[in-house]
């Protein structure tokens, strides 16, 4: 099979992947920031600084995405990963989540 | 039905017991309650002659064919076969009342005698199934949700989300940014919980109007008419003919809400309710 690599395409794909990964790291950092904020390990000033830094990172990423026209490439990486994660943890609109409850309730009511 | 394609080209199962090798077969459309032999003329797959093989008061609706599955790489041809299969099932339903349908490409190896033998062996199970589906039909109920309408409702009604939104207004820029991210995550969680709760409520409500109900997977493409919406529930319902109007009415009520759209299709032959235990032997 011949793989047809177009330079523009490759750049978009690769950059899309990198930005998607940075976004994921950013979200992990944000998650940590909450926990520290809520546990009181960060005072208001520190929280503000951290929030600002993360916001700037967010803006920078948005800028990079727009400038390089890789919004779709990033989205497709993220959607793919989200789908895998959702399926693994069952966090989605999914009858399996409530079907068992119903079966159990039926059994209880019929004795 | 929607998954016609999935059942196409299924490989015929080998006869379980080793009977004498024969190249004769009977393509089985359905089993019906009947007291006499009937001939349906040439309405079957590839214009085959469709007739019934009777045992006691039940009959297999079949046509004569070689003992090998119908297979084709041409989707158009397979599509026509499936339509013919569906058509014969519909005609048999008109004639005999609700039938016990079989999936496409169910072939009994042997002659009329083997089919009769098969009816005889499975008689009580087949009879039970036919009793169960008598005067009933299968309907499909799919409910789709509108993301924007649900989101609106959530942000109006959920106290945690309302409070968080108020909080954010009073905070400085960096803090507000973090809280906004928290809000997004919270909204997503509440959204999924809300839809699952709705789905569960719809199921318990609809259940009261049908004889039997099966929850199907919602992991399937949404029809074009509802593109952009999310399927939250997909039910196969076995409904009594006299109760279908009532079911239709409650579905209308759901459909009137701006958050939901309902797709209600049928009547179908009761494919989802005749089980594998009688349909598996081929």
Cβ contacts (< 8 Å) between B219 and chain A: which residues?
Answer: 94
Per-residue pLDDT, B280: 38
Per-residue pLDDT, A92: 64
Per-residue pLDDT, B276: 54
| Beta strand spans in B51-130 (E) | 51-55, 58-66, 100-101, 107-109
Q: Which residue of chain B has the CA closest to A53?
A: B174
Residue from B142, B147, B181 whose CB has the most chain A CBs within 10 Å, to mutate: B181
**How confident is the model over B170-193, as a mean pLDDT?**
89
Cα distance between residue B26 and residue B29, in whole Å: 9
Residue B21 binned pLDDT confidence (cut-offs 50, 70, 90): low
| ipTM metric | 0.73
Length reported for chain A: 111
Cβ contacts (< 8 Å) between A33 and chain B: which residues?
Answer: 178
Per-residue pLDDT, A90: 62
Per-residue pLDDT, A42: 84
Q: Is the pLDDT of residue B95 over 50?
A: yes
pLDDT single digits (tens) B130-148: 998 889 999 999 999 998 8
Residue from B142, B177, B191, B235 whose CB has the most chain A CBs within 10 Å, to mutate: B177
User: For tokens 């968080």, what's the residue?
Assistant: B164
Q: Which of A49, A109, A97, A41 is nearest to B199 (CA)?
A: A97
Report which of residues A18 and A87 the model is more confident about. A18
Torsion angle, CA of B208/B213/B214/B220, rounded to 10 degrees? -70
Q: Which residue of chain A has the CA closest to B185?
A: A31
Among the residue ranges A22-31, A88-97, B53-62, the one predicted with the least confidence is A88-97
Q: What is this structure's pTM?
A: 0.72
Cα distance between residue B239 and residue B245, in whole Å: 10
Q: Which of B82, B81, B231 is nearest to B145 (CA)?
A: B231
Q: Is the pLDDT of residue B281 over 50?
A: no
Beta-carbon separation of B196 and A37 below 8 A: no
- Helix, strand, coil % in chain A, rounded to nearest 5: 85, 0, 15
Among the residue ranges A83-97, B96-110, B167-181, B254-268, the one predicted with the least confidence is A83-97
Closest partner CB to B178 (pick from A34, A91, A97): A34
B103 CA: distance to closest CA in chain A (Å):
25
What value does the mean pLDDT of chain B take? Answer: 86
Beta-carbon separation of A93 and B173 below 8 A: no
Cβ contacts (< 8 Å) between A34 and chain B: which residues?
Answer: 178, 181-182
Beta-carbon separation of A37 and B178 below 8 A: yes
Among the residue ranges A5-19, A40-54, B15-29, B204-218, the one predicted with the least confidence is B15-29
Per-residue pLDDT, B14: 46
Per-residue pLDDT, B15: 46
pLDDT single digits (tens) A48-80: 999 999 999 999 999 999 998 899 889 888 888
Q: Which of B148, B139, B144, B138 is nearest to B223 (CA)?
A: B144
Cβ contacts (< 8 Å) between B174 and chain A: which residues?
Answer: 47-55
Cβ contacts (< 8 Å) between A54 and chain B: which residues?
Answer: 174, 177-178
Look at the alpha carbons of B65, B68, B70, B74 in this order and tell me if their dihedral is positive or negative.
negative
User: For tokens 């790489």, what's the residue?
Assistant: B73
- B→A contacts (Cβ < 8 Å), by residue, are 172-178, 181-182, 192, 195-197, 199-200, 203-204, 215-219, 230-234
* Phi then psi dihedrals of residue B262, to 5 deg: -115, 135
**How confident is the model over B68-75, as a mean pLDDT?**
90
A70 CA: distance to closest CA in chain B (Å):
23
Per-residue pLDDT, B20: 52
Among the residue ranges A46-50, A98-102, B124-128, the one predicted with the least confidence is A98-102
């Amino acid at each position: 099979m011949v793989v047809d690599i177009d330079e523009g395409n490759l750049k978009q794909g690769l950059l899309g992947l990198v930005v998607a990964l940075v976004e994921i790291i950013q979200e992990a950092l944000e998650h940590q920031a909450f926990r520290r904020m809520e546990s009181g390990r960060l005072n208001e000033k520190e929280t503000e600084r951290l929030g600002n830094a993360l916001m700037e990172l967010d803006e920078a990423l948005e800028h990079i995405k727009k400038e390089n026209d890789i919004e779709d490439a990033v989205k497709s990486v993220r959607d793919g990963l989200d789908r895998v994660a959702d399926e693994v943890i069952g966090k989605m609109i999914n009858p399996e989540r409530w079907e068992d409850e119903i079966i159990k309730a039926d059994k209880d009511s019929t004795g | 039905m929607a998954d016609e394609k999935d059942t196409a080209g299924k490989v015929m199962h080998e006869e379980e017991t080793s009977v004498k090798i024969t190249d004769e077969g009977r393509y089985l459309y359905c089993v019906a309650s009947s007291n006499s032999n009937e001939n349906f003329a040439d309405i079957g797959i590839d214009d085959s002659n469709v007739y019934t093989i009777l045992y006691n008061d039940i009959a297999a609706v079949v046509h004569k064919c070689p003992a090998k599955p119908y297979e084709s790489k041409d989707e158009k041809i397979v599509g026509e076969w499936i339509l013919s299969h569906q058509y014969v099932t519909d005609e048999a339903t008109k004639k005999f009342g609700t039938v016990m349908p079989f999936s496409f490409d169910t072939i009994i190896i042997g002659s009329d005698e083997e089919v009769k033998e098969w009816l005889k062996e499975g008689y009580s199970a087949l009879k039970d199934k036919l009793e169960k589906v008598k005067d009933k039909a299968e309907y499909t109920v799919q409910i789709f949700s509108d993301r924007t309408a649900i989101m609106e409702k959530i942000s109006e009604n959920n106290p945690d989300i309302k409070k968080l939104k108020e909080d954010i207004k009073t905070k400085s820029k960096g803090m507000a940014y973090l809280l906004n991210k928290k809000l997004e995550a919270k909204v997503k969680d509440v959204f999924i919980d809300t839809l699952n709760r709705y789905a569960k409520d719809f199921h318990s409500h609809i259940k009261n109007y049908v004889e039997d109900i099966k929850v199907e997977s919602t992991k399937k493409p949404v029809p074009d008419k509802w593109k952009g919406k999310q399927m939250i529930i997909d039910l196969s319902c076995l409904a009594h003919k006299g109760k279908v109007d009532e079911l239709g009415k409650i579905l209308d009520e759901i459909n009137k809400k701006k958050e939901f759209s309902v797709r209600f299709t049928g009547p179908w032959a009761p494919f989802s309710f005749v089980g594998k235990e009688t349909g598996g032997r081929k």
